[in-house]
Amino acid sequence: MARQPTHATRPNPEKNPRRAPTAAGQRDAAVNRIASHNYFLLEKFEAGVVLSGTEVKSVRAGRANLKDAYGLVKDDELWLLNCHIGPYEHGNIFNHAPLRTRKLLMHKAEIRKLIGKTLHKGLTLIPVRLYFKKGKVKVELALAKGKQLWDKRETERRRTADKEAREAVARGRKGH
């Protein structure tokens, strides 16, 4: 005879409902919006970031900036340069330097693949976004080729034309 449960079971609630969306991994901690304007983003890779404790707390607070950052492969290791993570507000003398060079974690095979691709003329590694995944800080790197001024203008023209076409279709639907 099967044993009857003594209490009703409930579905598991979310781990911490009051946790900030950035820390919970629902929203990006930092996004490099200008990257798609200045570069053709060809291929994207995910890498872990080696951070100190106060850096992680600053990223959770949304104090990271990827605007001028770039990736560099040196001695079979991947590095993130010029990524600004502001000092932690409640940090003490052990607070971190905001613009320090940070090591990125990827598999050796992926790093070798990146070495081969970045040796091509004009290709570079640009961080596109910084986010949390299972409690760890990750960065999405894009293999990018720089845009010329006329490329930027053409992209803007195309974007404007697409927007106008969408608006015209919406007006057409609304009229019927």
- Per-residue model confidence as pLDDT tens digits over 2-17: 666 666 666 655 555 6
Write the CA distances from 11 to 14, 15, 17, 18, integer angstroms.
Answer: 10, 12, 14, 18
Beta strands in 32-122 (DSSP E): 39-49, 64-65, 70-74, 77-81, 84-85, 102-105
For the segment 24-69, what is each residue's pLDDT rounded down to a tens digit?
Answer: 666 677 788 877 778 888 888 898 988 877 888 888 888 888 888 8
For the segment 82-138, what is each residue's pLDDT rounded down to a tens digit?
Answer: 888 888 777 777 777 778 888 888 898 888 888 888 877 778 888 998 888 888 888
At 63 the pLDDT is 84
Residue 59 exposed, middle or buried by CB count within 10 Å (0-12, 13-18, 19+): buried
Q: Delimit the domains of the chain by residue range.
A: 21-147
Beta bridge partners of 126: 142
CATH code, residues 21-147: 2.40.280.10
